[in-house]
Structure 1
Amino acid sequence: MSRRTLAAGGLATAAALTLTALPATAEQSVRFPSARFPLGTRPVPMKTMTTVTQGIDLYDVKAGTHTDGYTVTVLMPNGRDFGTLANAELKVAEVEAAGESASLQKVVRPGVADSPSQTVYMVRVGLWAFKDKKKAEKTAAKLKDAGLKVKVDYLGDDGLKTTGPWNAKVVLIDSRTFRGSYAASIGTSVAKRETVSSMAKASKALVGVNGGFYNIHTSPALRGEPLGASVVGGRLLSEAVPGRSAVVLKGRTAKITELETSVTATSEDGARTRVDGVNRAPATDELVLYTQEFGAKTPTGGVDALLDANDRVLRLRPSGHAVGAGTRVLHGRGLAGDWLNEHAWEGWTVEIDTRVIDLRTKKAIPLTPDLHVVAGGVGLVRNGEVKITAKRDGHDSMNMILRRHPRTLVGTTKNGSLILAAIDGRRPGETIGANFVEAAQFMRWLGATQAINLDGGGSTTLVVGKKPVNRPADGAERAVGDALLVLPR
């Protein structure tokens, strides 16, 4: 069995990422860094700056050059592009039986704060210059005809050694001079998705950026549901994933922390029970609260207790109806439906107690009208140091940690200034995006002492004024679950 090593374009028999030591950040204000770019060979970045308004500057940042080419990656039995050594060796034999020479590549996914490093193996066939992609496609077609599952891979996407390039848009908001405020938006409803530019336009925002991940695994009619805490104007519209990172906005202040939420229903007869979710599809025996922002009918097959603004039960009804203005609905099925039938009689009061807890301070955050929360996907920087919490935040995978994607990032500085960044990707030869380690290094370089990753990929959108200033990877702006907005007042 022959094995050869692909040494150019970032391929090697073993590869891993290392953290780059960065200089201390400025404490007095937020400003574009003077240090060399933190990624790749650390080139001097090119930047242009546009003043949006007092205290808000937009930077167009470009760094690096493309030297990566293409290869053909052989998929493993589980459909992934990596696997165990034993499976990789079997694939090498299959490739060679098809008349091609294969390379067995050892890849080390770097360890993060809550997950150790992982060693996997990939099988690659050929190495072509950037201009020769069609040759890679021809080889891929031959292997497919031989019964192998393969894909053409641009090596800049791997997450291993690269020279770039990177293209990012960065908004720096100086807490000393900014006179506006911050807000979250779920668009016209929780259930439906909407573009960032549409949400920004409706709120007359100066700047808008896509928010956290949304639920693509629920009913198509409900896929605007944020995966994590969402608070808009002091109203909890989606419960937290306990411990997941979030950005808490209040007036012109922004804080990054971890949250948990609790919602409790207490009947007039003293019976008390937990509310399992807010504005989402229920599971068996769950009690879910629906607010007027839900924007869809409650699920069928359960019981609805319709509450007025003072938590008085207007009536019990079969489920499957819209939530009217000024009302809320407690929906239960199974055991939760039984609880409503026993303790939510018409005319009774069922008090809803909603709490949002800051897990760093262990204190409740008052749900005042100026409070807004956008949930993040992964913690990146904590107290000035790289601390990537991929496992806790549900993204402990090779694809999310190591491979490069477009990224939407938010950070705060020591003096409370806000940093918003959109790193474009998935455009070979123009911009490659970032993996989690690179995203953390990038935010530290910009001066963030706290930073998190929001939704990325085709969702990455940064709007200034009325339109995106980056280039979304889908080729057009994607509708998303929520957005973080910067308002003029």
Structure 2
Amino acid sequence: MSRRTLAGGLALAVAITLTALPANAEQRTVRFPSAKFPLGARPVPTKTVTAVAKGIDLYDVQAGKATDGYTLTVLMPSGRDYGMQHTAEAVAAEVEAAGETPSVQEVVRPSVADAPSQTVYMVRVGMWPLKDKKKAEKAAKKLKEAGLKVKVDYLGDDGLQTTGPWSAKVVMIDSRVFRGSYAASLGRSVAKRETVSSMVKASKALVGVNGGFFNIHTAKALRGEPVGASVVGGKLLSEAVPGRSAVVLKGRTAKITELRTDVTAISQDGSKVKVNGVNRAPATDELILYTEEWGAKTPTGGTDAVIDANGKVIGLRASGAAVAAGTRVLHANGLAADWVNEHAWENWTVKIVTQVVDLRTRRPLKLTPDLHVIAGGVGLVRNGKVKITAKRDGHDSVNMILRRHPRTLLGTTRNGSLILATIDGRRPGESVGANFHEAAQFMRWLGATQAINLDGGGSTAMVVGKKVVNRPSDGRERAVGDALLVLPE
């Protein structure tokens, strides 16, 4: 096998056929493109369109065909499916000793805006057509019995050349026609996860898509916590990962930028201290602010200062209790508890000052009730050009940059219209998903001049009305941390 990545070969001009158009298409200022489908080797895609509401159209896009099959990937000692050349050759020797013929495959992970390209090596055994997955599984079992760690790999997931197929859903919202608004939702609480369908139903939204990444590395009951900035109705509910991409929603406008958040507690005696986080599990010696939206108890093993809506300290307590409605809690452990014990006495006033700073303009956002923020996973397009900020956004691995996954994508056009897209993946023979470069090219094709990748994989979900219109890769809709909602007028 000699398949390699082609870093510059993703934008291929092809024809596109149109199966339906909304009756008022001529009035649109944002239109679905009619040519130059950017993915694969010149498929001829089809699209159908449904008018959801005034200014909102839903497109179903199908393209390509299944020609990829299965191979076996032999894992490296690290547990990864790739490694350096000498490691791969050593693993290949083990495969030969087990009586099979391996192939050492060179793979080039393309460069991104903030990380150079990377060459790695994979050890592959055999090739089976799509219909013969069971034969591949049987061969994998034989190698496992010989002591090797092996997985059955669908070649469409590699991120290398493919013919597809692709299955995408695209919602295009015309800024000059749409009269509703955009909002973020974390469901019934920050700590708990909830499906997009549930959040759409609760808010009576027209459209909803899953939001940013959530923390899967914390206690199970707290895994709804967003990884990055979250603002709902002008209230900061999760601090930013400094510099990470985000989407700022205000009324019916959407802007992609990078954010920084600053939270400071100021005692009535003038003492100030940095608040390390908002609505998340604390690390050692941290001061964390919990709001009533947290939906869980504060951690045990620390000190809580309970503060009312006017900033008055109602009292100090041992931590491990709920956050009552109308209150906030400053939770401190270790060295951070010293400040609380010395400057947050009962009946004193502690002012919480919150800033959310737009790093492109260097100005703070006004935390008004119509302001919402959802953290993105990776920046894809900036000022009309591909600019993938995978390293800055914490996703610069081969798995994230090169391999194909289901994707939830958000973009804005030159005139301020909003594009929401899901590309299904991990469905051999039905849809291969997209890697970061393909996702960026797809959004540019749709007309986005700014675009980001939201959470994907099994989290990818688009709900229109009361229906999940894409096909989540888990086989059912996954509960997620937050959602972006399109609300009616």
Query: Are residues 1:448 and 2:448 paired?
Result: yes
Shift of 1:19: 5.1
Report the equivalent of 1:218: 218
Report the equivalent of 1:191: 191
Report the equivalent of 2:59: 59
How does 1:148-163 map onto structure 2 within 5 Å?
Answer: 148-163=148-163
For residues 237 and 216 of structure 1, the distance between their equivalents in structure 2, rounded to whole angstroms, comes to 18
Report the equivalent of 2:24: none
For residues 303 and 266 of structure 2, the distance between their equivalents in structure 1, rounded to whole angstroms, comes to 17
For residues 138 and 197 of structure 1, the distance between their equivalents in structure 2, rounded to whole angstroms, comes to 39
Shift of 1:127: 1.1
Report the equivalent of 1:462: 462
Report the equivalent of 1:142: 142
For residues 22 and 314 of structure 1, the distance between their equivalents in structure 2, rounded to whole angstroms, comes to 64
Report the equivalent of 1:131: 131
How does 1:187-336 map onto structure 2 within 5 Å?
Answer: 187-336=187-336
Q: Is the 8 A contact 1:36 1:43 kept in 2?
A: no
Per-residue displacement from partner, 1:146-202 (whole Å, max 9, x unpaired)?
Answer: 111111111000000001000000000000000100000000000000000000000
Shift of 1:21: 5.3
Q: Is the 8 A contact 1:16 1:107 kept in 2?
A: no
Q: Return the letter of the residue paired with 2:451.
A: A
Q: Is the 8 A contact 1:192 1:221 kept in 2?
A: yes
Per-residue displacement from partner, 1:286-342 (whole Å, max 9, x unpaired)?
Answer: 000000000001111111111110111111111111111111011111111110010
Q: Secondary structure at the match of 1:134?
A: helix
Report the equivalent of 1:16: 6
Per-residue displacement from partner, 1:222-260 (whole Å, max 9, x unpaired)?
Answer: 100000000000000000000000010000000000001
Per-residue displacement from partner, 1:250-285 (whole Å, max 9, x unpaired)?
Answer: 000000000010000000000000000000011111
Shift of 1:15: 3.2
Contiguous gaps of at least 5 residues in structure 2: 14-27
Report the equivalent of 1:117: 117
For residues 215 and 61 of structure 2, the distance between their equivalents in structure 1, rounded to whole angstroms, comes to 32
Report the equivalent of 1:384: 384
Contiguous gaps of at least 5 residues in structure 1: 1-5
Q: Is the 8 A contact 2:69 2:129 kept in 1?
A: yes
Q: Is the 8 A contact 2:12 2:37 kept in 1?
A: no
Q: Secondary structure at the match of 1:269?
A: coil
Q: Secondary structure at the match of 1:89?
A: helix
For residues 345 and 441 of structure 2, the distance between their equivalents in structure 1, rounded to whole angstroms, comes to 56
Shift of 1:22: 8.0
For residues 32 and 269 of structure 1, the distance between their equivalents in structure 2, rounded to whole angstroms, comes to 59
Q: Is the 8 A contact 1:22 1:445 kept in 2?
A: no
Query: Are residues 1:415 and 2:405 paired?
Result: no
Q: Return the letter of the residue paired with 1:16.
A: L
Q: Is the 8 A contact 2:10 2:438 kept in 1?
A: no
Report the equivalent of 1:44: 44
Shift of 1:20: 4.4
Q: Secondary structure at the match of 2:132?
A: helix
For residues 406 and 96 of structure 1, the distance between their equivalents in structure 2, rounded to whole angstroms, comes to 35
For residues 291 and 133 of structure 2, the distance between their equivalents in structure 1, rounded to whole angstroms, comes to 51
- The alignment's TM-score, normalised by the length of structure 1, stands at 0.96
For residues 467 and 317 of structure 1, the distance between their equivalents in structure 2, rounded to whole angstroms, comes to 45
How many residues of Structure 1 are paired with residues of Structure 2 in the alignment? 475
Q: Is the 8 A contact 1:187 1:482 kept in 2?
A: yes
Q: Secondary structure at the match of 1:153?
A: strand
Q: Is the 8 A contact 1:199 1:483 kept in 2?
A: yes
Shift of 1:129: 1.4
Report the equivalent of 1:3: none
Q: Is the 8 A contact 2:12 2:36 kept in 1?
A: no
Q: Return the letter of the residue paired with 2:256.
A: I
Q: Is the 8 A contact 2:12 2:41 kept in 1?
A: no
In percent, how many aligned pairs have the same letter? Answer: 77
For residues 140 and 87 of structure 2, the distance between their equivalents in structure 1, rounded to whole angstroms, comes to 19
For residues 67 and 140 of structure 2, the distance between their equivalents in structure 1, rounded to whole angstroms, comes to 22
Report the equivalent of 1:363: 363
Q: Secondary structure at the match of 2:175?
A: coil
Shift of 1:452: 0.3
Report the equivalent of 1:353: 353
Q: Secondary structure at the match of 1:147?
A: coil
Report the equivalent of 1:338: 338
For residues 102 and 285 of structure 1, the distance between their equivalents in structure 2, rounded to whole angstroms, comes to 51
The verdict on how the C-alpha distance between 1:382 and 1:208 changes in structure 2, with shifts beyond 3 A counting, is same
Moved over 4 A (4+): 19-23
Shift of 1:36: 2.3
For residues 472 and 424 of structure 2, the distance between their equivalents in structure 1, rounded to whole angstroms, comes to 7
Q: Is the 8 A contact 2:73 2:125 kept in 1?
A: yes
Report the equivalent of 1:403: 403
- The alignment's TM-score, normalised by the length of structure 2, stands at 0.96
Q: Is the 8 A contact 2:106 2:119 kept in 1?
A: yes
